[in-house]
Structure 1
Amino acid sequence: MNPERLLRDLFGAAVEAALPAKVLAEHLPPKPEGRVVVVGAGKASAAMGAALEAAWGPCEGLIVTRYGHAVPCEGVEIVEAAHPVPDAAGETAARRILDFATGLGEGDLMVALISGGGSSLLSLGAPGVSLADKQALNRALLASGASIDEMNCVRKHVSAVKGGRLAAAAAPARVLTLVISDVPGDDPADIASGPTVADKTTLEDALEIVARYRLDLPESIRHALADPANETPDALPGTELRMIATPLMSLRAAEAVAPVPCLILGDAIEGEAREVGRAMAGIALSVKTHGLPIRPPCVLLSGGETTVTLPKGAPGRGGRNVEFLMGLMEALDGASGIHALAADTDGVDGAAEVAGAVIGPDTDRGDLARALRDYDGHGLFEALGAQVVTGPTLTNVNDFRAIYIA
């Protein structure tokens, strides 16, 4: 058995299980009579739109996706914008999507196609909050070490569309939301900051997060977080949501094709990426040495969304998955018979067009100390020829990690 081939095949199975073309149609009701408008945001949203039109035929509407992730649709317009820091194209698309929602009436249906990445792509500030202000907020949040639910809490309360506001704008029309989850726990309020989902967080919660991480924010953001008008709706009658793909579904798909026993350690693992890597190394060494909690040969599978907290001045050319692998490599210290892959199911780890990397006991560790110091995982694995490069996968169910123990 070729360990690297095995790990890459498991990753491929995980991605395939979440492709909209394979999973979306079974969650669609019959196409209703009357006006139907399709909107969407996220890295998988254009592929979701194409899958919807394959089932229902051409529809009107607008979807915004990440640059390079567009899939042509017959009727729905597809536009591309920046991720993870929003740009003018995303702001314009969000405004147009909001216009679609506000133009609906009783008896109409808005279908919202939502996947990970939508928080940055669907970026329209609350009154007084400019695009530059939103960009500054996103940069501060990404570098802070805040969890995804904490980041989304703040973003919802300075937005004109997030935190259920898009669905509220569509009333009295019905709203059907189809979601591909990329967040630990699959809470739809956290996926793309829940533009069509009632929000239980508050302005007070957002202010507490800003204080906890000592975020340096534009004055307009602080003013918006102090304005009661920016509280999000906590109830949205006339809305329905269906989850069509999740991290656990993809882990199960990988398990189903593995030629050796698998142990799923969890689909919602969070924490500082390199520390999670070190902890996983401890589990792998226990399996290798003691056969606990599973006997080798076997694969340890896990998913979730870790974080990377960048020290000031660190170049930071990497992402969660390569940071995880560096922590794992350091702790394994070349232990024999242990191989690992970590990659983002959307094909983008951090801001680079690289999904992740694969390592083994013979992987050169010579430059690891420098890469850890500089947070330069992509540089390390590029030099080693160990990168996992898929291009846009057109789905997004978050991080996939597999450790094979021979």
Structure 2
Amino acid sequence: MREEDAQDLLRRMLKAAIAAADPAAVLARHLPEKPAGRCIVVGAGKSAAAMALAVERAWPDVDLSGVVVTRYGHAVQTDRIRVLEASHPVPDEAGHKAAAEILRTVRQAGPDDLVLALISGGGSALMTLPAPPLTLGDKMTVNRLLLASGLTIEDMNRVRRRLSLIKGGRLAQAAAPARLVTLAISDVPGDDPAAIASGPTVPDPTAEDDLSHLVARLGPNLPAPAREILLKSPSAQPDFTPDYRLIATPQISLEAAADIARAAGLTTLLLGDALEGEASQLGIAMAGMARSAACHGMPARPPAVLLSGGETTVTIGDVVPGRGGRNTEFLLALALALDGHPGIHALAADTDGIDGTEDAAGAIIGPRTLSLAEAAGLAPRDYLEGHDSYSLFDRIGALIRTGPTLTNVNDFRAIMVL
């Protein structure tokens, strides 16, 4: 297979993965029975606006109103549900105001009303309502520390739930006595409802946990009010049984990509939808797996593709970082470990279209990646150590730019062994 054909096939797999999580295609079949009264729609996340539009189209004859918040640049035009925009991954005043409005909106619901909560990845930062005495500035500092900490998404969400007036099931409590149904797009390993947007509509399973070890990991720059809340012995939280419906997940998207690969005659191996760990270390590990497939036919006989999802981390340390995200960092480490191995191509991208805070979803590599970088006068290992993978891939024309996809089922990785 020619290099151009291999990379085109990888791009088609990514496209299929994203399409499988498109609210316009998947949301309607998960809607509950129409309410006797009003339907009040609230939501937060990178897909919240697209999900709101899908609800409007599915229920043209229902008394719909409400408000959702999404990331700047992710809004779509709706008729009955207000769409607000705010900052991600670090919260801002717009997200603070949006969270307060969402809480006020659900408190207006009566016993005959349905509250429909539309939750997707990114909702934690976009819907920010700090617990006193924490201020918005404190919460912004906490988020920056979390993003640079190397903590897993589960541990990050433990902190976020504890510091919030709306997460950890508190939005659901505010909606009573109305019926509450959550429609969610999962962007977290294991599809844990308590982790998706920090679980605003489900009980917090870690509400009574000791978080002192996480306080230690976040270090001396953690704001004093946050430290106080996190170290305080929490009181028991109300328990309830949520009506929570996953409309799209990383596994569903991986299976859609696998269908494209099989149709092209490739052996397809799904390594899992919940891979975590340091991005560069995962790149090294997967390079070994790809080499084994190429040389020994294990764990898959070529031509083959190794598919995986999940969310890795990038620990910055003391380095002043360049530009990059976890997917481009993974790919640069993978390319260095493969060292130009013939017949191996790979793509990694965030399905929301934004890897980290950059304007690219991810990148694509092949046997010529390192030689192209060196021909451009770049030292790939230096770029990896400086967490500047975006800049390298930008210089050699290997970035993938999809623009906002209006969905988010986390990272998509495909390694093709020919």
Corresponding residue of 1:120: 125
**What residue number does 2:19 align with?**
16
CA distance in 2, matches of 1:51, 1:215: 45
Q: How far, CA to CA, are the matches of 1:103 and 1:297 in structure 2? A: 58
Q: Which residue of 2 aligns with 1:150?
A: 155
Partner amino acid, structure 2, of 1:342:
A
**In structure 1, what is the Cα distance between the partners aligned to 2:303 and 2:343?**
9
- Of 309-318 and 3-12, more deviation after overlay is shown by 309-318
Matches within 5 A, 1:340-379: 340-363=346-369, 364-366=372-374, 367-379=379-391
Give TM-score, length-normalised by structure 2.
0.94
C-alpha deviation, 1:231, in angstroms: 5.0
In the TM superposition, residue 189 of structure 1 has moved relative to its aligned partner by 0.5
1:320 maps onto 2:326 in alignment: yes
Alignment-mate amino acid for residue 255 of structure 1: A
C-alpha distance in 1 between matches for 2:135 and 2:373: 45
Structure 1 length as normaliser, TM-score?
0.97
Equivalent of residue 281 in structure 2, options 242, 261, 275: 275
Q: Secondary structure at the match of 1:201?
A: coil
- SS for the counterpart of 2:210 is helix
Contact 1:319 1:349 in 2 (8 A): yes
After superposition, the C-alpha distances for 1:269-316 in whole angstroms (9 at most, x for unaligned) are 000000000000000000000001111001110000000000223224
The whole-number CA distance in structure 2 between the counterparts of 1:16 and 1:232 is 41
Among 243, 249, 252, the residue aligned to 2:252: 249
- 1:233 is matched with 237
**Structure 2 vs 1, CA of residues 144 and 54 (structure 1 numbering), >3 Å: closer, same or farther?**
same
Structure-1 separation of matches of 2:80 and 2:397 = 42
Matched, 1:293 2:316: no
Q: 2:178 aligns with which of 173, 181, 189?
A: 173
CA distance in 1, matches of 2:212, 2:81: 38
Query: Does residue 186 of structure 1 match 2:198?
Result: no
Q: Work out whether residues 51 and 118 of structure 2, in 8 Å CA contact, stay in contact via their aligned partners in 1.
A: yes
CA–CA distance in structure 1, aligned partners of residues 203 and 322 of structure 2: 35
2: CA distance, partners of 1:179 / 1:221: 28
Q: What SS does the aligned partner of 1:83 have?
A: coil
Aligned length: 404
Q: Structure 1 residue 206: deviation in Å?
A: 2.9
Question: Is the CA contact (8 Å cut-off) linking 2:91 and 2:125 kept in structure 1?
Answer: yes
Q: 1:4 aligns to what SS in structure 2? A: helix
Distance verdict in 2 for CA 1:71–1:206, change over 3 Å: farther
Q: SS in structure 1 opposite 2:35? A: coil
2:413 is aligned, of 373, 385, 401, to: 401
> Per-residue deviation at 1:32?
1.3
Q: Which whole-Å CA distance do the structure 2 matches of 1:99 and 1:262 have between them?
A: 48
Structure 2 SS opposite 1:37:
strand
Percent sequence identity is 56
Letter in structure 2 aligned against 1:192:
A
Deviation at 1:225, TM superposition (A): 2.3
* CA deviation vs aligned residue, 1:299-336 (integer Å, no higher than 9, x gap): 11000000000022322411110010011011101100
Paired residue for 1:92? 97
Question: Structure 2 regions of 5+ residues with no counterpart?
Answer: none
State the 4+ residue runs in structure 1 displaced beyond 4 angstroms.
none
> Which amino acid counterpart does residue 233 of structure 1 have in structure 2?
Q
2:290–2:417 Cα contact (<8 Å) kept:
yes
Q: Distance in 2 between matches of 1:226 and 1:101?
A: 30
Shift of 1:232: 7.2
Provide the residue aligned with 1:26 in structure 2: 29
Q: Work out which of the residue numbers 62, 75, 84 in structure 2 matches 1:79.
A: 84
- What SS is found at the alignment partner of 2:271? strand
Alpha-carbon shift at residue 227 of structure 1 (Å): 4.5
Q: What RMSD in Å do the two structures reach over aligned CA positions?
A: 1.4
Q: 1:203: Cα distance to partner?
A: 5.1
In the alignment, is the contact (CA less than 8 A) between 2:27 and 2:55 conserved in 1? yes
Letter in 2 for 1:188: P
Q: Deviations over 1:89-108 (max 9, x none)?
A: 00000000000122223222
- Check the 8 A contact 2:160/2:198 in 1, yes or no: yes
* Residue deviations 1:55-111 (CA, integer Å, cap 9, x gap): 112620000000000011110000000000000000000000000122223222110
State the SS of the aligned residue for 1:280.
helix
Which stretch of the first structure deviates more once superposed, 380-389 or 256-265?
Answer: 256-265
Separation of aligned partners in 2, 1:105 and 1:127: 28
Tell me, yes or no, if structure 1 residue 65 matches structure 2 residue 70.
Answer: yes
Matched, 1:262 2:262: no
